[in-house]
Structure 1
Amino acid sequence: MKPKLNQMLRCAQSKKEQQEAIEHIDEVQNEIDRLNEQASEEILKVEQKYNKLRQPFFQKRSEIIAKIPNFWVTTFVNHPQVSALLGEEDEEALHYLSRVEVTEFEDIKSGYRIDFYFDENPYFENKALSKEFNVNESGDPVSKSSEIKWKAGKDLTKRTGQTPNKAGKKRQHEEPESFFTWFTDHSDAGADELGEVIKDDIWPNPLQYYLVPDMEDEEGDGDDDDEEEEGLEDIDEGEEEEGEDEDEDGDGEDGEVRKGVQWVLRTFL
């Protein structure tokens, strides 16, 4: 009985030590969590500071972009994820898009808003369309947007089978819903991919997507130059080989002399 008692005591002691270790780990983890929260607050302050510093530059950029026709529709068409949402008529409507702005709220965690400004167009009455993402009182992500005032017979969200545009080469064969259905879709604000793409990818540097065709052309021109150089090298090599063949076959000047000597020897000797 005594060995079993000792074993039970050792087991109880081991469990007590484990419990104490777990409690100490929990205390340390609480300290780590406290520092993480403090870091998040500091990072938030830095982001808010630099968001304010960036605003004048965003404004200046928008003023310059306004001088370039079709800047934003070209940017969207060149973006692989956005182009997948564009039908031919969507692209036509976006030709009237003159300005895009993304505004992050002062409390960045609470959300952001995307504003699209349009010139007079044959599709809808709105001068601006907006979609806003924020957090409700329960802490759940929600979204809301402008109601599109479509002109008679021009509601692109009610049309099916739009003809794919050139960007459709990158898409699946099945034609997608209209780009403008995004303004009416509030089913999953926390996983709105288009909003995130515009805010985090396009808005920071739209120029990189506007210039995509030019960059591809430059790369293609370089390939052509390489091919031309290779072609020239092949021509030079071919000429050298032909010259060698001529000498071997006796078709050059030396060959003519040799033929003449051979004829004289055969004729007179």
Structure 2
Amino acid sequence: MVCNFISEALFKSFLFLLEKEQQEAIEHIDEVQNEIDRLNEQASEEILKVEQKYNKLRQPFFQKRSELIAKIPNFWVTTFVNHPQVSALLGEEDEEALHYLSRVEVTEFEDIKSGYRIDFYFDENPYFENKALSKEFNVNESGDPVSKSTEIKWKAGKDLTKRTGQTPNKAGKKRQHEEPESFFTWFTDHSDAGADELGEVIKDDIWPNPLQYYLVPDMEDEEGEGDDDDDDEEEGLEDIDEGEEEEGEDEDEDGDGEDGEVRILLKMCSLDC
């Protein structure tokens, strides 16, 4: 009984010490985590400064790129049609309207975290009066993401957002939309500014390098030509292999002929002897 009592007492003491040690460890982990969080916050501030610096440095190059793009007809509509996500949102009439799109610009605000603006500049067109359409994303006083955009001044009978029966273009057929909304509906949709997929795609994917999407068909053609060349090379190798096999067979046949002649000569010599 005494031994059992001592064992139980020691066990409880051990548990108490173990729990105390774990509690102290948790407190230390919390202190270390606070230091990590402090460094992460400091890093975010430093990264923000670097982003602000390089945003300014990039501006002259964006301007130069826009000037060069202006020399290429239908650059932006081609870029959008070639982009897998954007093309799925384009109806035939949307694509027609975007043929008048002459320039696209993305501007991130000074502190970057507060938001950005996308500007679309259009030539004179039969769809709307606006020379430019913009959509802006920022944060309100409560810290919630919000958006606002230019009101589109549609010409009589040309409001594409009211035509729910647009036919998807060829690229858009990959997605099953019985009645696709117009691309221009995006300008009036402010339901979820914090998760605006099209805005994020344009800002983070297309704007940094639109040329990669403008050239998509050409790149695919080149890849296709490469595949043809590989096929031709394989066919050529097969032809060579077949030719070598045929030559080998001819050599074997010739070899049999020589052996036959040698046997005849040996037979004749034996007869003479």
Question: Shorter-normalised TM-score: what interval?
Answer: 0.7 to 0.9
Q: Distance in 2 between matches of 1:71 and 1:252?
A: 72
Residue 8 of structure 1: CA displacement?
8.0
Residue 49 of structure 1: CA displacement?
0.3
- Do 1:141 and 1:190's aligned partners in 2 also have CA atoms closer than 8 Å? yes
Q: 1:238 to 1:187 in 2, by over 3 A?
A: same
Q: Distance in 1 between matches of 2:120 and 2:259?
A: 81
Q: Deviations over 1:57-83 (max 9, x none)?
A: 000000000000000000000000000
- Do 1:98 and 1:119's aligned partners in 2 also have CA atoms closer than 8 Å? yes
Residue 176 of structure 1: CA displacement?
1.9
The answer to which of 162-171 and 57-66 deviates more is 162-171
Q: 1:93 to 1:29 in 2, by over 3 A?
A: same
Q: 1:215 to 1:255 in 2, by over 3 A?
A: farther
The correspondence of residues 110-129 of structure 1 with structure 2, limited to 5 A, is: 110-129=114-133
Indicate which of 79, 82, 85 corresponds to 1:81.
85
Residue 160 of structure 1: CA displacement?
1.8
What secondary structure does 1:143 align onto?
strand
Q: Deviations over 1:13-52 (max 9, x none)?
A: xx44443333222222111111111000000000000000
Q: Deviations over 1:81-125 (max 9, x none)?
A: 000000000000000000000000011100000000000000000
Q: 1:247 to 1:102 in 2, by over 3 A?
A: same
Unaligned runs of 5+ in 1: 10-14, 259-269
Residue 161 of structure 1: CA displacement?
1.6
Q: Distance in 1 between matches of 2:129 and 2:108?
A: 26
- Do 2:88 and 2:173's aligned partners in 1 also have CA atoms closer than 8 Å? no
What TM-score, normalized by structure 2, do the two folds share? 0.80
Unaligned runs of 5+ in 2: 11-18, 264-273
* Aligned equivalent of 1:72: 76
- Number of residues paired by the alignment? 251
Indicate which of 17, 23, 29 corresponds to 1:19.
23
Q: 1:225 to 1:33 in 2, by over 3 A?
A: closer
The answer to which of 229-238 and 83-92 deviates more is 229-238
The answer to which of 234-243 and 217-226 deviates more is 234-243
Q: 1:211 to 1:255 in 2, by over 3 A?
A: farther
Q: Distance in 1 between matches of 2:123 and 2:262?
A: 85
RMSD between superposed Cα atoms in Å? 3.9
Runs of 4+ in 1 over 6 A off after TM superposition: 3-9, 242-258
What secondary structure does 2:134 align onto?
strand
- Do 1:77 and 1:83's aligned partners in 2 also have CA atoms closer than 8 Å? yes
- Do 1:247 and 1:255's aligned partners in 2 also have CA atoms closer than 8 Å? no
- Do 2:168 and 2:180's aligned partners in 1 also have CA atoms closer than 8 Å? no
Q: Distance in 1 between matches of 2:220 and 2:261?
A: 55
- Do 1:133 and 1:189's aligned partners in 2 also have CA atoms closer than 8 Å? yes
* Aligned equivalent of 1:161: 165
Q: Distance in 1 between matches of 2:154 and 2:170?
A: 25
What secondary structure does 1:250 align onto?
helix
* Aligned equivalent of 2:6: 5
Q: 1:171 to 1:242 in 2, by over 3 A?
A: farther
Indicate which of 134, 142, 145 corresponds to 1:141.
145
Q: 1:252 to 1:154 in 2, by over 3 A?
A: farther
Q: Distance in 2 between matches of 1:84 and 1:228?
A: 38
Residue 226 of structure 1: CA displacement?
2.9
Q: 1:168 to 1:18 in 2, by over 3 A?
A: closer
Q: 1:234 to 1:109 in 2, by over 3 A?
A: same
